[in-house]
């Protein structure tokens, strides 16, 4: 399915303890020393100081469809989003791989190569495939902010995803409204985004944590 919603999931417990009930938590701090395992996501205005984050670039506008940490050689398999303070008019948006493939074309997706954004001019970066394989399974990566198209297939992919008039039949919208409302997203099978945040909904607070696998997986 690519995602699962769990309403009011143990709201009194911490997000990390809830995630540990579901699977193996990724210690993201090992790779990103300044980033905690559980990240708090709050609406922000655009800021030059935060241009390496979605909130710093897009502010309260809609976040485009993307994979989390798509610029990593192997992005996290799952992400868990959990409501602390919800609002009625902000949605997490989801689109499946099969829908992306029907819009872009599976051949183009599998041929597409992208280049991660350099942190500094002297940094050496390697091309990454949009559709990648790992230990007998496969995944999809995409990100408009941190990945640049490297070949014609990737340019085609970028143009199609950006310009397609996504309708309600193609996009799944989930409202994390109540404390404990939780969504687990397969970061290799779904792209996700966020709807724009109205001025009166700036109090929204969502927590995020990454998982390497879910409980029943090897």
pLDDT digits (tens, 9 = 90+) for 27-53: 988 888 888 999 999 998 876 666 567
CATH number of the CATH domain containing 12 = 3.60.130.10
Domain count, the chain: 1
Query: Residue 179 burial (CB < 10 Å; 0-12/13-18/19+)?
Result: middle
Q: pTM for the full model?
A: 0.93
For the cut 70, the answer to whether the pLDDT of residue 2 exceeds it is yes
pLDDT digits (tens, 9 = 90+) for 108-166: 999 999 999 866 666 668 899 999 999 999 999 999 999 999 999 999 999 999 999 98
Residues of the domain holding 200 = 3-214
Q: Tell me how many degrees the CA angle 31-34-39 measures, rounded to the nearest 5.
A: 95
Residue from 143, 146, 211 nearest 182 by CA:
211
Phi-psi region at 75: left, alpha or beta (left = phi > 0; alpha = psi -120 to 50): beta
């Amino acid at each position: 399915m690519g995602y699962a919603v769990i309403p009011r999931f143990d709201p009194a417990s911490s997000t990390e303890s809830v995630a540990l009930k579901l699977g193996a938590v990724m210690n993201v701090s090992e790779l990103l020393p300044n980033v905690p395992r559980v990240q708090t996501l709050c609406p922000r205005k655009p800021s030059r100081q935060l241009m390496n984050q979605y909130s710093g670039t897009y502010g309260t506008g809609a976040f485009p469809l993307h994979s989390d940490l798509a610029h990593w050689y192997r992005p996290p398999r799952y992400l868990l989003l959990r409501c602390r303070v919800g609002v009625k008019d902000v949605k997490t948006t989801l689109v499946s791989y099969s829908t992306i493939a029907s819009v872009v074309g599976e051949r183009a997706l599998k041929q597409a190569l992208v280049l991660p954004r350099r942190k500094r001019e002297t940094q050496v970066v390697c091309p990454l495939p949009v559709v990648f394989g790992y230990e007998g399974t496969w995944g999809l990566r995409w990100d408009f902010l941190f990945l640049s198209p490297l070949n014609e297939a990737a340019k085609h992919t970028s143009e199609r995803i950006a310009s397609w008039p996504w309708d309600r039949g193609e996009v799944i919208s989930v409202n994390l409204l109540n404390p404990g409302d939780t969504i687990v997203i397969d970061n290799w099978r779904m792209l996700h985004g966020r709807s724009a945040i109205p001025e009166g909904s700036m109090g929204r607070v969502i927590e995020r944590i990454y998982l390497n696998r879910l409980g029943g997986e090897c």
